[in-house]
Structure 1
Amino acid sequence: MIGEVDVARQGDVAVVTLKREAKLNALSTQLESRLLDAVRSDAVKGSRAVVITGGDKVFSAGADTGELREMTPEAIAEYYRSSGAVYEAVAALPQPTVAAIAGYCLGGGFELALAADLRVADETAVFGLPEVGLGILPSSGGVTRLVRAVGPARTRDLVLRGRKMSTVEAHSWGLLTETVEAGEHLTTALNIAAELAGQPPMAVSIAKQVITAATDAPRETALLLEQLAYATLNRIG
Protein backbone atom coordinates (compact mmCIF):
# COMPACT_ATOMS: atom_id res chain seq x y z
CA MET A 1 0.00 0.00 0.00
CA ILE A 2 1.35 3.44 -0.93
CA GLY A 3 -1.02 5.87 0.78
CA GLU A 4 -4.10 6.18 -1.43
CA VAL A 5 -2.82 3.63 -3.93
CA ASP A 6 -2.53 -0.12 -3.46
CA VAL A 7 0.09 -2.16 -5.33
CA ALA A 8 -0.20 -5.94 -5.39
CA ARG A 9 1.19 -8.78 -7.44
CA GLN A 10 -0.74 -11.64 -8.98
CA GLY A 11 2.05 -13.74 -10.39
CA ASP A 12 3.78 -11.72 -13.10
CA VAL A 13 1.00 -9.10 -13.14
CA ALA A 14 1.16 -5.97 -11.00
CA VAL A 15 -2.23 -4.59 -9.96
CA VAL A 16 -2.33 -0.87 -9.14
CA THR A 17 -5.56 0.23 -7.46
CA LEU A 18 -6.68 3.78 -6.71
CA LYS A 19 -8.06 3.82 -3.15
CA ARG A 20 -9.72 7.20 -2.66
CA GLU A 21 -13.25 5.87 -2.92
CA ALA A 22 -14.84 8.54 -0.70
CA LYS A 23 -13.79 11.14 -3.29
CA LEU A 24 -14.58 8.92 -6.30
CA ASN A 25 -10.82 8.47 -6.80
CA ALA A 26 -10.42 12.14 -7.67
CA LEU A 27 -6.84 12.67 -8.79
CA SER A 28 -5.44 15.11 -6.28
CA THR A 29 -1.75 15.96 -6.51
CA GLN A 30 -1.21 13.72 -3.48
CA LEU A 31 -2.95 10.80 -5.17
CA GLU A 32 -0.98 11.42 -8.36
CA SER A 33 2.25 11.40 -6.33
CA ARG A 34 1.30 8.10 -4.70
CA LEU A 35 0.41 6.69 -8.12
CA LEU A 36 3.76 7.83 -9.49
CA ASP A 37 5.48 6.09 -6.57
CA ALA A 38 3.49 2.95 -7.38
CA VAL A 39 4.47 3.05 -11.05
CA ARG A 40 8.12 3.30 -10.00
CA SER A 41 7.86 0.63 -7.28
CA ASP A 42 9.76 -2.66 -7.37
CA ALA A 43 6.46 -4.56 -7.62
CA VAL A 44 5.68 -2.82 -10.90
CA LYS A 45 9.25 -2.79 -12.21
CA GLY A 46 9.54 -6.54 -11.68
CA SER A 47 6.24 -7.35 -13.36
CA ARG A 48 5.58 -8.38 -16.95
CA ALA A 49 2.18 -6.64 -17.25
CA VAL A 50 0.31 -4.00 -15.26
CA VAL A 51 -3.39 -3.53 -14.50
CA ILE A 52 -4.62 -0.13 -13.31
CA THR A 53 -8.06 0.06 -11.72
CA GLY A 54 -10.19 2.20 -9.44
CA GLY A 55 -11.98 -0.78 -7.95
CA ASP A 56 -15.52 -2.08 -8.32
CA LYS A 57 -17.56 1.14 -8.56
CA VAL A 58 -15.52 3.94 -10.10
CA PHE A 59 -12.29 4.37 -12.04
CA SER A 60 -11.80 8.10 -11.36
CA ALA A 61 -14.16 11.08 -11.49
CA GLY A 62 -11.28 13.30 -12.63
CA ALA A 63 -8.60 15.62 -11.38
CA ASP A 64 -8.98 17.80 -8.32
CA THR A 65 -9.13 20.98 -10.43
CA GLY A 66 -9.52 23.22 -7.40
CA GLU A 67 -5.90 22.60 -6.49
CA LEU A 68 -4.56 23.71 -9.85
CA ARG A 69 -6.71 26.86 -9.91
CA GLU A 70 -4.78 28.10 -6.89
CA MET A 71 -1.43 27.68 -8.65
CA THR A 72 0.65 30.26 -10.46
CA PRO A 73 1.89 29.45 -13.99
CA GLU A 74 5.30 28.65 -12.48
CA ALA A 75 3.73 26.25 -9.99
CA ILE A 76 1.72 24.56 -12.73
CA ALA A 77 4.90 24.07 -14.78
CA GLU A 78 6.48 22.44 -11.74
CA TYR A 79 3.38 20.28 -11.28
CA TYR A 80 3.85 18.76 -14.75
CA ARG A 81 7.44 17.95 -13.81
CA SER A 82 6.43 16.30 -10.53
CA SER A 83 3.13 14.55 -9.71
CA GLY A 84 1.60 15.57 -13.04
CA ALA A 85 4.23 13.46 -14.81
CA VAL A 86 2.43 10.28 -13.75
CA TYR A 87 0.37 10.05 -16.95
CA GLU A 88 3.45 9.95 -19.16
CA ALA A 89 5.14 7.60 -16.69
CA VAL A 90 2.27 5.14 -17.17
CA ALA A 91 2.46 5.51 -20.95
CA ALA A 92 6.23 4.97 -20.89
CA LEU A 93 6.18 1.72 -18.90
CA PRO A 94 8.00 -0.97 -20.87
CA GLN A 95 5.39 -3.55 -19.89
CA PRO A 96 1.93 -3.67 -21.46
CA THR A 97 -0.70 -1.92 -19.35
CA VAL A 98 -4.44 -2.57 -19.05
CA ALA A 99 -6.95 -0.15 -17.52
CA ALA A 100 -9.89 -1.90 -15.82
CA ILE A 101 -12.77 0.59 -15.80
CA ALA A 102 -16.13 0.78 -14.06
CA GLY A 103 -18.30 3.81 -13.31
CA TYR A 104 -16.99 7.32 -13.83
CA CYS A 105 -13.90 7.66 -16.01
CA LEU A 106 -13.84 11.42 -16.42
CA GLY A 107 -11.30 14.19 -16.94
CA GLY A 108 -7.93 13.16 -15.57
CA GLY A 109 -9.31 9.69 -14.96
CA PHE A 110 -10.06 9.33 -18.66
CA GLU A 111 -6.60 10.69 -19.46
CA LEU A 112 -5.07 8.07 -17.17
CA ALA A 113 -7.04 5.32 -18.91
CA LEU A 114 -5.96 6.64 -22.31
CA ALA A 115 -2.32 6.40 -21.17
CA ALA A 116 -2.74 2.63 -20.80
CA ASP A 117 -2.17 0.33 -23.77
CA LEU A 118 -5.50 -1.49 -23.49
CA ARG A 119 -8.80 -0.61 -21.84
CA VAL A 120 -11.49 -2.93 -20.52
CA ALA A 121 -14.74 -1.33 -19.37
CA ASP A 122 -17.89 -2.76 -17.87
CA GLU A 123 -21.35 -1.59 -18.85
CA THR A 124 -21.54 0.95 -16.01
CA ALA A 125 -18.59 3.00 -17.28
CA VAL A 126 -19.09 6.65 -18.27
CA PHE A 127 -16.39 8.55 -20.16
CA GLY A 128 -15.91 12.27 -20.71
CA LEU A 129 -13.61 15.28 -20.65
CA PRO A 130 -15.55 18.12 -18.98
CA GLU A 131 -12.61 20.52 -18.61
CA VAL A 132 -13.64 23.10 -21.23
CA GLY A 133 -16.89 23.67 -19.35
CA LEU A 134 -14.75 24.58 -16.33
CA GLY A 135 -12.78 27.11 -18.35
CA ILE A 136 -9.71 24.89 -18.83
CA LEU A 137 -8.82 21.95 -21.08
CA PRO A 138 -7.51 18.39 -20.77
CA SER A 139 -3.76 18.75 -20.36
CA SER A 140 -2.38 15.38 -19.28
CA GLY A 141 -2.22 13.81 -22.71
CA GLY A 142 -5.97 13.49 -23.25
CA VAL A 143 -6.23 15.73 -26.32
CA THR A 144 -3.05 14.37 -27.88
CA ARG A 145 -3.99 10.72 -27.39
CA LEU A 146 -7.60 11.21 -28.47
CA VAL A 147 -6.59 12.93 -31.71
CA ARG A 148 -4.28 10.04 -32.52
CA ALA A 149 -6.89 7.45 -31.57
CA VAL A 150 -10.10 8.85 -33.09
CA GLY A 151 -9.09 11.87 -35.19
CA PRO A 152 -9.65 15.62 -34.74
CA ALA A 153 -13.37 15.69 -35.54
CA ARG A 154 -14.37 13.25 -32.82
CA THR A 155 -11.90 14.82 -30.42
CA ARG A 156 -13.55 18.22 -30.97
CA ASP A 157 -16.95 16.66 -30.38
CA LEU A 158 -15.92 15.16 -27.06
CA VAL A 159 -13.64 17.94 -25.75
CA LEU A 160 -15.47 21.08 -26.88
CA ARG A 161 -18.93 19.86 -25.94
CA GLY A 162 -17.74 18.22 -22.73
CA ARG A 163 -20.35 15.54 -23.14
CA LYS A 164 -20.32 12.08 -21.59
CA MET A 165 -20.20 8.86 -23.56
CA SER A 166 -21.25 5.34 -22.67
CA THR A 167 -19.25 2.13 -22.81
CA VAL A 168 -21.06 1.22 -26.03
CA GLU A 169 -20.13 4.49 -27.75
CA ALA A 170 -16.53 4.40 -26.49
CA HIS A 171 -16.19 0.89 -27.86
CA SER A 172 -17.68 1.91 -31.20
CA TRP A 173 -15.04 4.65 -31.44
CA GLY A 174 -12.28 2.09 -30.94
CA LEU A 175 -11.29 3.41 -27.51
CA LEU A 176 -11.92 0.13 -25.69
CA THR A 177 -10.37 -3.29 -26.12
CA GLU A 178 -13.28 -5.15 -24.56
CA THR A 179 -16.63 -4.40 -22.95
CA VAL A 180 -18.05 -6.67 -20.27
CA GLU A 181 -20.99 -7.01 -17.94
CA ALA A 182 -21.08 -5.02 -14.72
CA GLY A 183 -18.43 -6.15 -12.26
CA GLU A 184 -16.43 -8.20 -14.77
CA HIS A 185 -13.93 -5.50 -15.75
CA LEU A 186 -11.14 -6.42 -13.35
CA THR A 187 -11.34 -10.17 -13.93
CA THR A 188 -11.22 -9.65 -17.68
CA ALA A 189 -8.35 -7.18 -17.43
CA LEU A 190 -6.39 -9.59 -15.24
CA ASN A 191 -6.94 -12.39 -17.74
CA ILE A 192 -5.68 -10.21 -20.58
CA ALA A 193 -2.71 -9.06 -18.50
CA ALA A 194 -1.82 -12.67 -17.63
CA GLU A 195 -1.92 -13.51 -21.33
CA LEU A 196 0.38 -10.57 -22.11
CA ALA A 197 2.71 -11.55 -19.25
CA GLY A 198 3.11 -14.97 -20.86
CA GLN A 199 4.50 -13.47 -24.06
CA PRO A 200 8.26 -12.97 -24.56
CA PRO A 201 8.84 -9.75 -22.59
CA MET A 202 11.41 -8.17 -24.91
CA ALA A 203 9.23 -8.75 -27.97
CA VAL A 204 6.20 -7.27 -26.21
CA SER A 205 8.14 -4.24 -24.99
CA ILE A 206 9.75 -3.45 -28.33
CA ALA A 207 6.51 -4.05 -30.25
CA LYS A 208 4.74 -1.66 -27.87
CA GLN A 209 7.35 1.03 -28.52
CA VAL A 210 7.20 0.56 -32.29
CA ILE A 211 3.39 0.82 -32.29
CA THR A 212 3.58 4.04 -30.25
CA ALA A 213 6.20 5.56 -32.53
CA ALA A 214 4.40 4.48 -35.70
CA THR A 215 1.22 6.28 -34.64
CA ASP A 216 2.42 9.61 -36.02
CA ALA A 217 5.72 8.77 -37.71
CA PRO A 218 6.15 9.11 -41.48
CA ARG A 219 5.47 5.84 -43.29
CA GLU A 220 9.09 5.29 -44.26
CA THR A 221 10.24 5.91 -40.69
CA ALA A 222 7.64 3.51 -39.28
CA LEU A 223 8.65 0.79 -41.73
CA LEU A 224 12.31 1.26 -40.86
CA LEU A 225 11.50 1.02 -37.15
CA GLU A 226 9.67 -2.27 -37.75
CA GLN A 227 12.61 -3.69 -39.68
CA LEU A 228 15.24 -2.57 -37.17
CA ALA A 229 13.14 -3.90 -34.29
CA TYR A 230 12.75 -7.24 -36.06
CA ALA A 231 16.50 -7.46 -36.65
CA THR A 232 17.16 -6.69 -33.00
CA LEU A 233 14.70 -9.28 -31.71
CA ASN A 234 15.88 -11.88 -34.20
CA ARG A 235 19.44 -11.36 -32.95
CA ILE A 236 18.35 -11.68 -29.30
CA GLY A 237 16.29 -14.75 -30.06
Structure 2
Amino acid sequence: MAATGTAGTVEVTVHGRVAELVLCREAKLNALSTHLETRLLEALRSPAVRDSRAVVVTGGARVFSAGADTTELREMTPEAIAAYYRSSGAVYEALAALPQPTVAAVAGHCLGGGFELALAADFRIADDSAGFALPEVGIGILPSSGGVTRLVRAIGPARTRDLVLRGRRVAAAEAYAWGLVTEAVPRGAHLKRARELAAELAGQPPLAVALTKQVIGAAAEAPRETGLLLEQLAYAALHRTDNS
Protein backbone atom coordinates (compact mmCIF):
# COMPACT_ATOMS: atom_id res chain seq x y z
CA MET A 1 0.00 0.00 0.00
CA ALA A 2 1.42 3.39 -1.00
CA ALA A 3 0.12 6.80 0.02
CA THR A 4 0.64 10.35 -1.10
CA GLY A 5 -0.85 13.61 0.17
CA THR A 6 -2.06 16.71 -1.68
CA ALA A 7 -1.64 19.75 0.56
CA GLY A 8 -3.40 18.07 3.46
CA THR A 9 -6.86 18.15 1.90
CA VAL A 10 -6.95 14.98 -0.20
CA GLU A 11 -5.14 11.78 0.68
CA VAL A 12 -4.43 9.35 -2.15
CA THR A 13 -3.78 5.73 -1.23
CA VAL A 14 -3.23 2.79 -3.55
CA HIS A 15 -4.55 -0.65 -2.59
CA GLY A 16 -3.41 -3.05 -5.30
CA ARG A 17 -5.19 -1.88 -8.46
CA VAL A 18 -7.57 0.45 -6.59
CA ALA A 19 -6.85 4.13 -5.93
CA GLU A 20 -8.58 5.55 -2.85
CA LEU A 21 -9.16 9.31 -2.49
CA VAL A 22 -10.07 10.65 0.96
CA LEU A 23 -11.36 14.17 1.52
CA CYS A 24 -9.46 15.44 4.56
CA ARG A 25 -11.20 18.58 5.77
CA GLU A 26 -13.13 16.97 8.59
CA ALA A 27 -13.11 20.05 10.84
CA LYS A 28 -15.24 21.76 8.16
CA LEU A 29 -17.27 18.59 7.45
CA ASN A 30 -15.33 18.20 4.20
CA ALA A 31 -16.93 21.34 2.77
CA LEU A 32 -15.84 21.63 -0.85
CA SER A 33 -13.82 24.82 -0.94
CA THR A 34 -12.16 25.75 -4.22
CA HIS A 35 -8.88 24.67 -2.60
CA LEU A 36 -10.24 21.22 -1.80
CA GLU A 37 -11.80 20.91 -5.25
CA THR A 38 -8.46 21.82 -6.82
CA ARG A 39 -6.62 19.23 -4.75
CA LEU A 40 -9.22 16.61 -5.66
CA LEU A 41 -8.93 17.51 -9.34
CA GLU A 42 -5.14 17.10 -9.08
CA ALA A 43 -5.64 13.72 -7.39
CA LEU A 44 -8.00 12.56 -10.16
CA ARG A 45 -5.29 13.45 -12.70
CA SER A 46 -2.45 11.87 -10.72
CA PRO A 47 -0.47 8.79 -11.83
CA ALA A 48 -1.97 6.84 -8.91
CA VAL A 49 -5.45 7.28 -10.36
CA ARG A 50 -4.38 7.09 -14.00
CA ASP A 51 -2.69 3.72 -13.40
CA SER A 52 -5.53 2.25 -11.33
CA ARG A 53 -8.35 0.05 -12.50
CA ALA A 54 -10.95 1.37 -10.05
CA VAL A 55 -11.31 4.40 -7.80
CA VAL A 56 -12.91 4.90 -4.38
CA VAL A 57 -13.83 8.40 -3.19
CA THR A 58 -14.75 8.91 0.46
CA GLY A 59 -14.90 11.49 3.20
CA GLY A 60 -13.84 8.99 5.82
CA ALA A 61 -15.67 7.39 8.72
CA ARG A 62 -18.06 10.17 9.80
CA VAL A 63 -18.97 12.48 6.93
CA PHE A 64 -18.77 12.49 3.14
CA SER A 65 -19.19 16.22 2.51
CA ALA A 66 -21.52 18.92 3.83
CA GLY A 67 -21.43 20.58 0.42
CA ALA A 68 -19.82 23.48 -1.38
CA ASP A 69 -18.25 26.30 0.61
CA THR A 70 -20.85 28.82 -0.58
CA THR A 71 -19.18 31.72 1.23
CA GLU A 72 -16.49 31.68 -1.47
CA LEU A 73 -18.95 31.76 -4.35
CA ARG A 74 -21.31 34.36 -2.89
CA GLU A 75 -19.05 37.29 -3.75
CA MET A 76 -18.11 36.13 -7.25
CA THR A 77 -19.09 38.04 -10.37
CA PRO A 78 -20.76 36.11 -13.23
CA GLU A 79 -17.42 36.16 -15.06
CA ALA A 80 -15.64 34.70 -12.03
CA ILE A 81 -18.28 32.00 -11.66
CA ALA A 82 -17.83 31.02 -15.34
CA ALA A 83 -14.08 30.80 -14.73
CA TYR A 84 -14.72 28.66 -11.63
CA TYR A 85 -16.59 26.05 -13.68
CA ARG A 86 -13.60 25.86 -16.02
CA SER A 87 -11.12 25.42 -13.16
CA SER A 88 -11.77 23.75 -9.78
CA GLY A 89 -15.47 23.41 -10.54
CA ALA A 90 -14.58 20.95 -13.29
CA VAL A 91 -13.82 18.28 -10.68
CA TYR A 92 -17.33 16.78 -10.80
CA GLU A 93 -17.17 16.10 -14.52
CA ALA A 94 -13.57 14.91 -14.17
CA LEU A 95 -14.74 12.20 -11.79
CA ALA A 96 -17.63 11.25 -14.07
CA ALA A 97 -15.31 11.08 -17.10
CA LEU A 98 -12.79 8.62 -15.64
CA PRO A 99 -12.59 5.51 -17.81
CA GLN A 100 -12.35 3.17 -14.83
CA PRO A 101 -15.28 2.43 -12.49
CA THR A 102 -15.68 4.75 -9.51
CA VAL A 103 -17.25 4.10 -6.12
CA ALA A 104 -18.35 6.74 -3.59
CA ALA A 105 -18.24 5.48 0.02
CA VAL A 106 -20.69 7.63 1.97
CA ALA A 107 -21.31 8.15 5.68
CA GLY A 108 -22.99 11.06 7.43
CA HIS A 109 -23.71 14.30 5.59
CA CYS A 110 -23.78 14.07 1.80
CA LEU A 111 -25.21 17.46 0.96
CA GLY A 112 -25.17 19.96 -1.88
CA GLY A 113 -21.91 19.73 -3.79
CA GLY A 114 -21.01 16.64 -1.77
CA PHE A 115 -24.14 14.92 -3.08
CA GLU A 116 -23.27 16.08 -6.60
CA LEU A 117 -19.79 14.59 -6.21
CA ALA A 118 -21.26 11.26 -5.10
CA LEU A 119 -23.70 11.34 -8.02
CA ALA A 120 -20.75 11.70 -10.40
CA ALA A 121 -19.46 8.28 -9.29
CA ASP A 122 -20.63 5.07 -10.95
CA PHE A 123 -21.56 3.37 -7.66
CA ARG A 124 -22.58 4.71 -4.24
CA ILE A 125 -22.24 2.68 -1.05
CA ALA A 126 -23.92 4.34 1.94
CA ASP A 127 -24.02 3.34 5.58
CA ASP A 128 -27.11 3.95 7.69
CA SER A 129 -25.78 7.25 9.03
CA ALA A 130 -25.81 8.77 5.54
CA GLY A 131 -28.19 11.56 4.64
CA PHE A 132 -28.57 13.03 1.15
CA ALA A 133 -29.95 16.46 0.26
CA LEU A 134 -29.64 19.36 -2.17
CA PRO A 135 -30.55 22.43 -0.08
CA GLU A 136 -29.45 25.08 -2.59
CA VAL A 137 -32.92 26.38 -3.58
CA GLY A 138 -33.58 27.28 0.06
CA ILE A 139 -30.72 29.79 -0.02
CA GLY A 140 -31.69 31.24 -3.38
CA ILE A 141 -29.50 29.25 -5.78
CA LEU A 142 -29.68 25.79 -7.37
CA PRO A 143 -27.47 22.73 -7.74
CA SER A 144 -25.16 23.49 -10.65
CA SER A 145 -22.48 20.80 -10.75
CA GLY A 146 -24.55 18.09 -12.39
CA GLY A 147 -26.92 17.43 -9.50
CA VAL A 148 -30.19 18.26 -11.26
CA THR A 149 -29.15 16.68 -14.56
CA ARG A 150 -27.94 13.45 -12.98
CA LEU A 151 -30.90 13.19 -10.61
CA VAL A 152 -33.42 13.53 -13.44
CA ARG A 153 -31.69 10.72 -15.30
CA ALA A 154 -31.45 8.55 -12.18
CA ILE A 155 -34.86 9.01 -10.54
CA GLY A 156 -37.00 11.02 -12.96
CA PRO A 157 -38.33 14.58 -12.83
CA ALA A 158 -41.05 14.03 -10.20
CA ARG A 159 -38.71 12.78 -7.50
CA THR A 160 -36.08 15.30 -8.55
CA ARG A 161 -38.60 18.09 -7.92
CA ASP A 162 -39.40 16.57 -4.54
CA LEU A 163 -35.75 16.55 -3.51
CA VAL A 164 -34.51 19.78 -5.08
CA LEU A 165 -37.43 22.18 -4.71
CA ARG A 166 -38.11 21.13 -1.11
CA GLY A 167 -34.47 20.59 -0.16
CA ARG A 168 -35.65 17.36 1.42
CA ARG A 169 -33.14 15.08 3.12
CA VAL A 170 -33.34 11.34 2.47
CA ALA A 171 -31.71 8.61 4.51
CA ALA A 172 -29.70 5.75 3.04
CA ALA A 173 -32.60 3.27 3.05
CA GLU A 174 -34.88 5.62 1.08
CA ALA A 175 -32.04 6.57 -1.26
CA TYR A 176 -31.49 2.85 -1.91
CA ALA A 177 -35.19 2.29 -2.57
CA TRP A 178 -35.14 5.11 -5.12
CA GLY A 179 -32.03 3.79 -6.86
CA LEU A 180 -29.80 6.68 -5.75
CA VAL A 181 -27.62 4.33 -3.75
CA THR A 182 -26.17 1.08 -5.08
CA GLU A 183 -26.03 -0.55 -1.64
CA ALA A 184 -27.08 0.50 1.87
CA VAL A 185 -24.91 -1.12 4.53
CA PRO A 186 -24.71 -1.07 8.35
CA ARG A 187 -23.05 1.86 10.07
CA GLY A 188 -19.29 1.89 9.62
CA ALA A 189 -19.29 -0.73 6.84
CA HIS A 190 -19.38 1.67 3.87
CA LEU A 191 -15.64 1.90 3.22
CA LYS A 192 -14.97 -1.83 3.60
CA ARG A 193 -17.79 -2.64 1.18
CA ALA A 194 -16.69 0.06 -1.28
CA ARG A 195 -13.17 -1.37 -1.27
CA GLU A 196 -14.53 -4.86 -1.91
CA LEU A 197 -16.65 -3.65 -4.81
CA ALA A 198 -13.77 -1.62 -6.27
CA ALA A 199 -11.45 -4.64 -6.06
CA GLU A 200 -14.06 -6.73 -7.87
CA LEU A 201 -14.45 -4.11 -10.59
CA ALA A 202 -10.67 -3.74 -10.90
CA GLY A 203 -10.53 -7.39 -11.92
CA GLN A 204 -12.60 -6.75 -15.05
CA PRO A 205 -10.87 -6.12 -18.42
CA PRO A 206 -10.20 -2.37 -18.39
CA LEU A 207 -10.90 -1.55 -22.04
CA ALA A 208 -14.22 -3.43 -21.93
CA VAL A 209 -15.12 -1.53 -18.76
CA ALA A 210 -14.18 1.85 -20.25
CA LEU A 211 -16.13 1.32 -23.47
CA THR A 212 -19.13 -0.11 -21.62
CA LYS A 213 -19.18 2.94 -19.33
CA GLN A 214 -19.27 5.17 -22.41
CA VAL A 215 -22.05 3.16 -24.03
CA ILE A 216 -24.16 3.21 -20.86
CA GLY A 217 -23.69 6.96 -20.53
CA ALA A 218 -24.64 7.60 -24.14
CA ALA A 219 -27.55 5.13 -24.13
CA ALA A 220 -29.20 7.03 -21.28
CA GLU A 221 -29.74 9.98 -23.63
CA ALA A 222 -29.50 8.60 -27.17
CA PRO A 223 -32.36 7.21 -29.29
CA ARG A 224 -32.74 3.43 -29.17
CA GLU A 225 -31.21 2.93 -32.61
CA THR A 226 -28.17 5.00 -31.67
CA GLY A 227 -27.69 3.03 -28.48
CA LEU A 228 -27.83 -0.26 -30.36
CA LEU A 229 -25.32 1.01 -32.93
CA LEU A 230 -22.92 2.11 -30.18
CA GLU A 231 -23.14 -1.35 -28.58
CA GLN A 232 -22.31 -3.01 -31.88
CA LEU A 233 -19.43 -0.68 -32.69
CA ALA A 234 -17.96 -1.12 -29.21
CA TYR A 235 -18.26 -4.90 -29.53
CA ALA A 236 -16.51 -4.80 -32.89
CA ALA A 237 -13.71 -2.68 -31.40
CA LEU A 238 -13.23 -5.10 -28.52
CA HIS A 239 -13.62 -8.31 -30.48
CA ARG A 240 -9.99 -8.64 -31.60
CA THR A 241 -8.40 -6.58 -28.84
CA ASP A 242 -6.10 -7.96 -26.17
CA ASN A 243 -8.26 -6.80 -23.28
CA SER A 244 -7.19 -8.51 -20.08
- Of 105, 122, 134, the residue aligned with 1:129 is 134
1:210 aligns with 2:215: yes
> TM-score w.r.t. structure 2 length?
0.96
CA RMSD of aligned residues (A): 0.5
Give 1:181's aligned residue: 186
Q: Distance in 2 between matches of 1:234 and 1:174?
A: 32
Give 2:235's aligned residue: 230
Give 1:2's aligned residue: 6
Give 1:45's aligned residue: 50
State the Cα deviation string for residues 106-134 of structure 1 (Å, max 9, x = none): 00000000000000000000000000001
SS in structure 1 of the partner of residue 240 of structure 2: helix
Instruction: Kindly provide the amino acid, as one letter, of the partner of residue 134 in structure 1.
Output: I
Q: Distance in 1 between matches of 2:185 and 2:153?
A: 25
Give 1:58's aligned residue: 63
State the Cα deviation string for residues 3-50 of structure 1 (Å, max 9, x = none): 200001000000000000000000000000000000000100000000
Q: Distance in 2 between matches of 1:198 and 1:97?
A: 13
1:192 aligns with 2:193: no
1:77 aligns with 2:82: yes
Q: Distance in 1 between matches of 2:78 and 2:218?
A: 31
- Of 98, 105, 108, the residue aligned with 1:100 is 105
Give 1:30's aligned residue: 35
SS in structure 2 of the partner of residue 175 of structure 1: coil
Q: Distance in 1 between matches of 2:232 and 2:71?
A: 47
1:139 aligns with 2:144: yes
- Of 151, 162, 175, the residue aligned with 1:157 is 162
Deviating above 3 A after TM superposition, structure 1's stretches of 4 or more consecutive aligned residues are: none
Count matched residues: 237
* Alpha-carbon shift at residue 235 of structure 1 (Å): 2.1
Q: Distance in 1 between matches of 2:114 and 2:15?
A: 24
Instruction: Kindly provide the amino acid, as one letter, of the partner of residue 180 in structure 1.
Output: V
* Alpha-carbon shift at residue 66 of structure 1 (Å): 1.0
Structure 2: gaps (5+ residues): none
* Alpha-carbon shift at residue 228 of structure 1 (Å): 0.5
Give 2:124's aligned residue: 119
Identity across matched positions, percent? 73
1:19 aligns with 2:13: no
Structure 1: gaps (5+ residues): none
